[in-house]
Chains A and B, each alone.
Chain A
Amino acid sequence: MEWIQQLVNGISLGSIYALIALGYTMVYGIIKLINFAHGEVFMIGAFVGFYAIRGLGLGLFPALLLAMLVCASLGVIIERIAYKRLRHATRIAALTTAIGVSLFIQYVTIYFRGAQPEGYPDVFPSANFKIFGVSISSQSIFILVVSILLMIMLQFIVHRTKIGKAMRAVSHDAEAAQLMGINVDNTISATFAIGSALAGAAGVIFGVYYGKIEPLMGIMPGLKAFIAAVLGGIGIIPGAMVGGLLLGVVETFVSAAGYSMWRDAVAFIILILILLFKPTGLFGKNMREKV
């Protein structure tokens, strides 16, 4: 029974990772940019939600919407100011700028409100119910459902809609995409807007679920989301979902076995093993470069 409980614990943790990883992998897949600032957008989302609930007295869903909106704009602004100029630069230059942006957001936040953590208001009281002795909180079911829905939605957007096709075209060859009549700037902005809105939503949900937010909260989940995205195969949306869940379950099981100190190490070992056997991630097509 304990192990089933642990599996439930792991899936809840994993759905949080998945939630962040979805937006991450989308931007990643399309712009080919490891957007280190994704974790910080997630953090800003959490704080926007917090102030919306605390300061403006909004309910959970209006606050969630507001956070998504603010983060979408933030994502677009970051892209326009910091990344746009670097579209033709090396990827590593863009990555370094992203790191700079990430530090900048962290420390500006600290500058304005200090580094201390904040307790999240209890707007979505969790009811625990038991099934065969395993206790499951309504919140974790909520998160799992939300992340699955978002995954389906994203997958649909990217693969079935016109804007999604435009995104993929831009991702491969922006100049050729322009020749199709695609507005590259707008398409990239849309990508950032959607990805960042997802990060914002994840921030609020994280806040509600764990009850604690702070200016540096984006670093670890951002890193884990990166791992989940790579584990699933860069740019592959269901891959991010599975990667996130797998990571959550593995981490929980390691803790459950009494090796909580080795939790991240084991997670990384599994990641590396998987990559050694599937060098492009779980769902990545093993497509060799055609010469």
Chain B
Amino acid sequence: MKNTKGFWGFLIFAFAFYGISQLLMVMNIIPYHYVNTMVFIAINIILAVSLHIVIGVTGQFSLGHAGFLAIGAYVSAIMTMKLQLPFFVALFVGGTIAALAGLVVGIPSLRLKGDYLAIATLGFGEIIRIMFLNIDYVGGAAGMQVSHLTTWTYAFVCLVITIVVIVNLTNSSHGRACISIREDEIAADAMGINTTYYKVAAFTLGSFFAGVAGGLYAHNFYIIQPGNFGFIKSIDILIFVVLGGLGSMSGAVIAAILLTVVSTFLQGYAETRMIIYSLVLIIVMLYRPQGLMGTSEITSWFKKKGGKSNDNRTTA
């Protein structure tokens, strides 16, 4: 949303989309189980976009995103189930605590680079999971039962907020600071960018939205267990971002939609679903290693000029 026009355009589009979808649901043209899939898609998009700001924009390789999802899920579940607080408060608190955790994790570990950072974040993610595993207050390994509060409206509003915030940040001087870190950290530093600050900020913001997604997730599936938040989950989220194209938010969104739909569709083919899923993943990566969208955004397709996509990465 480079300018105010684009911003309002997006909002109007979003609310029109919401209005139509809600109408169709009320009229029962979209059956209930599709609504559930849509909510699930929205959650996955939030997750994908929240990791996109960390990996795609700032270039910090995190493998522990599921940990922040877990914090959001558990904290918000405690808010509603144990403290009887309203759902939107729970979502916000869940996100905030996740963001705090992101801050605490980010400050020491973002000094590391590349694979060392990946493994450290993976470690933090696992530590968070093991923590919940050992807290009997939230049911330990068996998990915690949570009421179903996540509606399409909640999911959609959170989704729109996430996208607006991330896009606004990315398309600002602060976003450019983050991107410059991804491109060349030493040069960014030499240009007066406080690299640590922006890395931690991106990480914290990403954790916040992962936490919000966690709140939606917990209140959509009736039960949460530490096992849902292992490193495999982190990898699932990572796959959204990479498959969509590192650095492209619309790519992350598209990939999240695509993979969620594929996965739901394959539910009926128990024996072969994971084989098909993995094949899809391998084939897409082999033929489009830069991801579905490369680094370009879908909006650039509508612009007349300057829409040159950077597809010649492979020759670099």
Contacts and interface: CB of A to CB of B under 8 A. Distances in A.
Would A and B touch once assembled, by the CB under 8 A criterion?
Answer: yes
A278 B314 CA distance: 33
A184 interface: no
Contact of A279 (B113, B130, B231, B291): B113
Interface residues of B, number: 47
B246 interface: yes
A268 B128 CA distance: 11
A77 B305 CA distance: 44
B86 to A, nearest CB: 33
Given A82-B286, A88-B314, A103-B281, A265 B130 contact: yes
Contacts of A99: 235, 239, 281
Contacts of A89: 289-290, 313-314
Interface stretch (A53-61, A118-126, A155-163, A222-230): A222-230
A271 B112 CA distance: 12
Interface stretch (B71-79, B118-126, B150-158): B118-126
A227 B271 contact: no
B279 interface: yes
Nearest to B281: A100
A111 B134 contact: no
Contacts of A34: 115, 118
A86 interface: yes
A113 to B, nearest CB: 12
Interface in B260-288: 271-272, 274-275, 277-279, 281-282, 285-286
B298 interface: no
Contact of B116 (A93, A94, A107, A275): A275
A190 B108 CA distance: 38
Nearest to B187: A291
Main secondary structure of the interface of B (DSSP, over half): helix
Contact of A111 (B113, B239, B271): B271
B282 to A, nearest CB: 4
A262 B231 contact: no
Given A111-B271, A279-B112, A289 B186 contact: yes
A205 B148 CA distance: 48
Nearest to A268: B123
A104 interface: yes
B116 A230 contact: yes
Contacts of B285: 86, 93, 96-97, 100
A234 B314 contact: no
A100 B282 contact: yes
Given A88-B315, A92-B246, A93-B291, A107 B278 contact: yes
Interface string B231-273: 1000100110011001000000000000000000000000110
B11 interface: no
Contacts of B122: 268
Interface string A241-270: 000000000000000000001101100110
20 contacts: A86-B286, A88-B314, A89-B289, A89-B314, A90-B290, A92-B246, A93-B242, A96-B239, A96-B243, A97-B281, A103-B277, A107-B275, A107-B278, A261-B134, A265-B127, A268-B122, A268-B127, A271-B120, A272-B123, A275-B120
The 10 closest A-B pairs by CB, nearest first: A89-B289, A268-B123, A100-B281, A103-B278, A107-B274, A104-B278, A100-B282, A265-B130, A93-B289, A97-B285
Given A86-B285, A90-B313, 4 more contacts: A88-B315, A89-B289, A103-B274, A234-B115
Interface of B: 55, 61, 108-109, 111-113, 115-116, 118-120, 122-124, 126-127, 130-131, 133-134, 186, 231, 235, 238-239, 242-243, 246, 271-272, 274-275, 277-279, 281-282, 285-286, 289-291, 313-316
